[in-house]
Amino acid sequence: MRNILDFSPFRRSLIGFDHLFNLMQDAASFDGAEGYPPYDVEQHGEDAYRIRLAVAGYTSGDIDVTTHEGTLVVKGRKEDKLEDRKYLYRGIAASGFERRFQLADHVTVTGANLADGILAIELKREVPEAAKPKKIAIGRAVEPKRIGKQTQPEAA
């Protein structure tokens, strides 16, 4: 699939935003063929999120959930222990998968649970106090003291 968004004009004039443009380009070039496992992203309140992945047939031992440098990576590896099976049709995925999610600043993974074939990953945005907006009190201006000679207005 060809990317229809061209960020070249912006890259020339906005210095230091390479990471942002790379994120947008990756999102724009998403290929629907990478559709396994299917997932939902939910928002709960202002700062809580949940990613739900449909991972039928996988156990918690088959799945790794890791975060590194703002990227959440979910990997699934399934070993077919019964190699003597003869499939007439195989519709349940048995191969490995890897799904990546780019996390915004201050978003952390708080937990993950697997139940009924659904992997639920809980996320929370926790903005530190230093990064929150601060209200600056405006005081009353005080006239500065004049130092030196005061000049008298000249008579006309």
pLDDT at residue 82 in the model: 62
Q: What are phi and psi of 77, to 5 degrees?
A: -130, 125
Residue 138 has pLDDT above 60, yes or no: yes
**What's the pTM?**
0.66
Report the helix count and the strand count for the chain, using DSSP H and E: 2, 7
What DSSP string describes 45-68?
Answer: TTTEEEEEEE-TT--GGGEEEEEE
What's the mean pLDDT when you consider all of the chain? 82
From CA 23, how far away is CA 18, in angstroms rounded?
9
Residue 64 has pLDDT above 90, yes or no: yes
CATH code given to domain 34-127:
2.60.40.790
Confidence label for 54 from pLDDT (cuts 50, 70 and 90): very high
More confident residue, 12 or 151: 12
Residue 127 has pLDDT above 70, yes or no: yes
> Measured on CA atoms in the order 32, 55, 67, 40, is the torsion positive or negative?
positive
Kindly state the average pLDDT of the residues 66-93.
84
Half-sphere exposure of 155 (CA within 13 A, CB side): 0
Give the residue extent of every domain in the chain. Answer: 1-30, 34-127
Kindly state the average pLDDT of the residues 104-114.
94
